[in-house]
Amino acid sequence: MKHLGPIIVVVVLLLCAAFYYSHQQATHGPEQTPPSDTGAVSTPPIFTHDATPQPEALSAGTLTLKSSLSHGYMAQGARSESFAAIDITAVDTHGGKRLPLNVALVIDRSGSMHGAPMEYARQAAMQFVDQLRDGDRLAIVSFSRDVSVDFPSSPITLARRQEMKNAIARIQDGGATNISDGYIAGFAEVRRWKTAQTIDRVILLTDGIPNVGMTDTRDLVGLASSYQAQGISLTTMGFGLDYNEDLMAAMADAGAGNYYFIANHYVIAGIFEREFQGLDRTVARGATVSIDVAPGVEVEKVYGFPFQQNGSRLHISLAEFAAGQNKNILMKLRTQAAQTGSQPVLDVQLSYDDLLADRAVTQRTAVSAVVTSDARKAETMVNTDVIARVQDVEIASSMNEAMDYYQMGNAARAQEVISKQVESTRGAQKRFALPEARFEKAEKFMNANSQVIEQAPASAPAGRKAVMESKEKSRNIQLDSLESF
């Protein structure tokens, strides 16, 4: 019995503890578990957090596709201006698989090519023959008023190289300028031998303005667009100071090829070399970009590239990419959103034949912004690189406009366009804190054009050369905004 005392005490204490715990449960409810620090936390209601902008997206491959917005935030209710950059860059590689080239050289032999121009054109064409590899195909076409297939498309062999050079040497100048029929004949030669395993292009060299056959710019550009849709691109080379540079550039744009201004006959060979190197290092072909524009977003302008629009979808043909080549699409957008929150902007799809991997490839990116009622927040998350590049292409576009007025004899209006662009560029520098050094070359470019307009008539050789150089540079910057002035 003497041991029962402690036991009774323990039992009483346990009963008291049980009574106390029961009372606490009834009064305060179950004991709360403290939050864990393991990361396994419950997701808060979505309305307690702001949406997150996704102003940049990237998809890598033989071609890298990068889409960027200039602004991550947009002001609610306002008709906001923003910009988008769609950058496609080919991998810079040497070696690897190289498809056979299937090319037609179409050479102007009109009377204006008499003398040194014709001689240098022959030499450059012969050099091009030497650069081609065995197994490539080449056709040689020449035109004046009439058209001659001087050497039908044939595979390159050692013996045939000399035969092709002999055909080039026999080309004689004289007559009018029938660009359209020469182009049609060159296209027919390439199309006849086009396969799934060839790189197909027409290279057109002229020093004049079409005065036989198709002479309207719209018809010739439409022809180039039609042929490009069939997978055959076009490069144009304008020689001298008397050809229509706007026509040659527009045909090259529609044909998704290159445009070259050849100021002097002694640089023709170097231009042909550049063109061959691009073809020789082709890593992708048949490239097209499809851009789906989200509801509430309006495309105000596409810089540099011709495009087709079907509803809210834009299509841009980019044809071939050489190793290391950039093609950059810049767009001006307008957005007006009544509701705050996430705002999809663009869904971009890039499709092409990957010649390194020997397969068809499709890559996608999507970018979005956030609509906010906070006006100050709408000025944050600004991609100044996109803004600066837009300024470059705006300058290039304005210089084209100024040179058009200059050619029409309205020098005062041309100077006004340049002055307004200088003012606009400086305003953007101040608003977005863009470095002044970024635009030093661009300002020199604008000032140089202004001086030529002031000092020489557009019909003078100095004026014509300035127009052609300015337009060639402006076109290149609009197609590749990563290139600087």
The residue assigned the tokens 């018809």 is 219
Most trustworthy range by pLDDT among 7-16, 319-328, 430-439: 319-328
Closest C-alpha among 356, 337, 353 to residue 345: 337
CATH topology of domain 62-91+297-374: Immunoglobulin-like (2.60.40)
Cα distance between residue 188 and residue 477, in whole Å: 32
What pLDDT was estimated at residue 26?
A: 43
Closest C-alpha among 359, 382, 324 to residue 88: 324
pLDDT reading at 265 higher than 60: yes
pLDDT reading at 17 higher than 70: no
Which strands sit side by side in the sheet containing 282-293, from one edge to the other? Answer: 73-75, 359-372, 341-354, 282-293, 313-322, 308-310
Domain boundaries 101-280, CATH class: alpha beta
Query: Tokens at residue 230, please?
Result: 């069939």
Cα distance between residue 154 and residue 140, in whole Å: 10
What pLDDT was estimated at residue 485?
A: 77
HSE, side-chain direction, 13 A CA sphere, residue 369: 37
pLDDT reading at 299 higher than 60: yes
Closest C-alpha among 310, 343, 276, 318 to residue 74: 343
What pLDDT was estimated at residue 50?
A: 62
pLDDT reading at 43 higher than 50: no
Task: Work out whether the CA dihedral 404, 409, 413, 414 comes out positive or negative.
Answer: positive
pLDDT reading at 293 higher than 60: yes
Mean of the pLDDT values across residues 89-96? 88
pLDDT > 90 fraction of the chain, expressed in percent and rounded: 81
Mean of the pLDDT values across residues 450-457? 96
Mean of the pLDDT values across residues 426-437? 93
What pLDDT was estimated at residue 13?
A: 45
The end-to-end CA distance of the chain, in Å, is 108
Cα distance between residue 271 and residue 258, in whole Å: 11
What is the radius of gyration, based on Cα positions, of the chain?
32
pTM: 0.85
pLDDT reading at 47 higher than 50: no
Q: Do the beta carbons of residue 344 and residue 105 sit within 8 Å?
A: no
The helix (H) or strand (E) run that includes residue 140 is: strand 137-143
The residue assigned the tokens 């300028």 is 177
Which strands sit side by side in the sheet containing 63-69, from one edge to the other? Answer: 56-59, 63-69, 79-90, 326-336, 297-303
pLDDT reading at 10 higher than 60: no
Please name the amino acid found at residue 219. Answer: D
What pLDDT was estimated at residue 444?
A: 95
> Domain segments of the chain: what residues?
62-91+297-374, 101-280, 385-479
> What does pLDDT average to over the chain?
90
What pLDDT was estimated at residue 27?
A: 43
Mean of the pLDDT values across residues 308-333? 96
